Structure 1
Amino acid sequence: MVRKIEGATRIPVPGGKTIDEYVGRVNSGDERISIAHMKAPAGWEEPAQTPEFAEYTLVLSGTVLVEHDGGVTEVGAGQAFGCEPGERIRYSAGPEGAEYVAVCLPAFAPEAARRED
C-alpha cells in the first residue's frame, strides 16, 4: 500500500539538536524502520550508546564525528556511514555543525539506543 507522509514530527532533544522524524514509531507508527532529518549545532555531542538497531547516516552538510572502538571517523557532506547493532558509538558535530539523514533498522526508540549516563 502506498502511503504519502505529509510531514515530519519534531522530536525534542536537549543540546540544540533537532530531529524531524518522517518515518518511524512517532510519526508514521512504523516499527520496522525510521527515517529522520537531523540538524546539530557546532560542538553538539551526545552520550555514548550501544544501540539495538543498525543505523545508516547520510551527511548533507557539515561534519559528523563518530567515536567507536577503532577510533574516530570523520564523515563529511556527501558521505555516509553505517553502524551495526551492539557497536558502542558516540556522535558529535564538527565545528560547523551538521545536517544529516539517519535511517535505523528496526526503527529508533529511546530505550533501544541504550545510551550511557
Structure 2
Amino acid sequence: MPRLIQASARIEAAGEPPKVIDEFIGRVNSGTEALSIAKMISPQGWSEPGQTPEFDEYTVVLRGALHVESREATQIVSAGQAIITSAGEWVRYSTPDGETEYLAVCLPAFSPDTVHRDE
C-alpha cells in the first residue's frame, strides 16, 4: 500500500544566517536511506561551508536564485532551472542576492556523516 507522508520534518541547517529545511522523505522524516527530498528556504546572504558529499544532489529552484560554486566556476541557478552535482565533487551553495526557495533531492539520502563539510 502507498505510504502517505503526513508532514515534513524541520531540520537544523548549516550556514548563516539560518535557512529552513523541511524534509519530506529521507533519513529523519520517513526513515528512507535510498534518497531524500527536502524543501529549502534560504534567506538573502545565506552561505554554508563547502562540502564533498558522498551523494548526488539534484536541485530545482522554485523562487529566487541559488549560487552553486565548484572548483571550476560559480553558476547561478534561477527560478525554473535545475542543477545536478555529483558525489565526490566539491561544491558550496549560497543565496547572496535574495531569499531563495528550492527542492533538493539527494541520492542516496542526505546524511551529516556523508556530506563532508569543510572545516
TM-score with structure 1 length normalisation?
Answer: 0.97
Partner of 2:89: 87
**Sequence identity (%):** 50
Partner of 1:13: 13
List aligned pairs for 1:1-117, cutoff 5 A: 1-14=1-14, 15=16, 16-117=18-119
Larger fraction in strand: 1
Provide the rounded CA distance (Å) in 2 between the counterparts of 1:35 and 1:13. 15
Give the superposed CA RMSD. 0.9
Provide the rounded CA distance (Å) in 2 between the counterparts of 1:12 and 1:47. 15
Question: By how many angstroms is 1:94 displaced?
Answer: 3.3
TM-score with structure 2 length normalisation?
Answer: 0.95
- Unpaired runs of 5+ residues, structure 1, are none
Provide the rounded CA distance (Å) in 1 between the counterparts of 2:19 and 2:34. 24
Provide the rounded CA distance (Å) in 2 between the counterparts of 1:89 and 1:13. 16
Asked if the contact 1:50/1:114 (under 8 Å) is kept, the reply is: yes
Higher alpha-carbon deviation: 79-88 or 5-14: 5-14
Asked if the contact 1:43/1:94 (under 8 Å) is kept, the reply is: yes
The alignment of Structure 1 onto Structure 2 pairs a total of residues equal to: 117
Task: Please list every run of at least 4 consecutive aligned residues from structure 1 whose deviation after the TM superposition is greater than 2 angstroms.
Answer: none
Asked if the contact 1:62/1:94 (under 8 Å) is kept, the reply is: no
- Unpaired runs of 5+ residues, structure 2, are none
Question: By how many angstroms is 1:13 displaced?
Answer: 2.1
